[in-house]
Amino acid sequence: MKIMKKWKVLGEKTVYDGMPRITVAIQKIQLPDGRIVDDYHRLYFPDAVMMVAYTKGKKLIMCRQYLHGQGRVSLVIPSGTVDKGERPLVTAKRELVEETGYSSGNWTHLKTYICHSSYHCGNIHYFLVKDAVKICEPKQADLEEMETVLLSKGLIKQAIRSGLVVSLGTITALSMASIWDGKVRAKKKR
Amino acid sequence: MKIMKKWKVLGEKTVYDGMPRITVAIQKIQLPDGRIVDDYHRLYFPDAVMMVAYTKGKKLIMCRQYLHGQGRVSLVIPSGTVDKGERPLVTAKRELVEETGYSSGNWTHLKTYICHSSYHCGNIHYFLVKDAVKICEPKQADLEEMETVLLSKGLIKQAIRSGLVVSLGTITALSMASIWDGKVRAKKKR
């Protein structure tokens, strides 16, 4: 197995400041073989949370909404943006109630991934939520109209195949949930 | 089911031009309820291709490499950037040979997804490749060191769980492959 080293960041300058949403920087990089790259992009987005949340009846809580990047209506899992200095779990619990009206005491952090392999684009913290119950009506979102949809586990693959689920973040979450669900259960049995 | 309308783009101005890699624009948007949002970000990246490629022996062809956005070494599926005006399938066939040395006559376009639900960030075209055979050595990549790894289907979930696969694009591709594999086979039987 080849030994691969991290790239060294020799410097960085901001070329576009659109905070709190997006900052674009250019990094000066030194590759492991000594070569210098002086225009490697780094994009800073705020961290995000995504919640794979199941009701007590084992239905997956999804949101049907128009997302402008996609330019169409699709099914996504509940998500939100982490405020500066906030703990991701705190954001996740608040956003689940605000977006769907559901709440739960059963939370597991699955994994935190970086959004873009080349440019970073922020971390996404994935949570598994079980036994959620409806405690209020969802709050109207800031810009997007939104509708809660409860999906049987057996219909998830069909929803992806039909084109109703098209967000990379949502598909990743659903795969991970199917992988970690077993592990989380196994842990609790011990 | 609520009727949800597309947002109207009333205007757009470029605020950072880092082409051919990244362009950042600000759009003026009209929401379905008439409200105006005059600072919605739109990010333009070139299109990308990602290949879920299996050898004749049904092993998945992956690349082990350091990716600077992630800041670590991980397993990703072969991928590439579509040149302007190029057909994605042409890019995909070229990149698979260049990155891995493998080639195949059995290609299926699975789906094209938009990278980011809010800001767009380019399309990713996903392809399923079967019966690939090694025809040459991989070409040394431009910046990244790279190593080909052949993975048994049964080890894919384990690779994700262990943290060796962390790219949203790769996890999405692997999920989709598991979904479409059956459909593609069913089609060919008719």
Residue of B nearest to A19 (CA): B41
- CA B40/CA A68 separation, integer angstroms: 9
Find chain B residues with C-beta within 8 A of A22's C-beta.
24, 41, 43, 119
Residue B38: the pLDDT is 95
Here the ipTM equals 0.89
pLDDT tens profile B35-44? 999 999 999 9
- Comparing A14-18, B24-28, B95-99, B184-188, the range with the smallest average pLDDT is B184-188
Please, which pLDDT band fits residue B153 given cuts at 50, 70 and 90? Answer: confident
The reported pTM is: 0.91
**Residue showing tokens 């949502």:** A170
- CA B22/CA B72 separation, integer angstroms: 23
Nearest CA-CA partner of B173 in A71, A57, A175, A5: A175
pLDDT tens profile A92-115? 999 999 999 999 999 999 989 999
How distant is the alpha carbon of residue B150 from its chain centre?
19
Q: Looking only at Cα atoms, what is the longest distance across chain B?
A: 58
Q: Say whether B117 and A24 touch across the interface (CB within 8 A).
A: no
Q: Say whether B172 and A176 touch across the interface (CB within 8 A).
A: no
Please provide residue A125's backbone torsions phi and psi, each rounded to the nearest 5 degrees.
-100, 120
Question: Which residue among B4, B41, B180 places its CB closest to the CB of A21?
Answer: B41
Q: Say whether B169 and A169 touch across the interface (CB within 8 A).
A: no
Residue B15 has pLDDT above 80, yes or no: yes
Helices A168-189, B168-189: crossing angle, 10 deg rounding: 100
A43 close to B (CB below 8 A): yes
Residue of B nearest to A121 (CA): B69
- CA B129/CA B91 separation, integer angstroms: 14
B68 close to A (CB below 8 A): yes
List Cβ neighbours of A103 (8 Å cut-off, separation of 6 or more): A93, A96, A97, A132, A133, A135
Nearest CA-CA partner of A163 in B185, B110, B173: B110
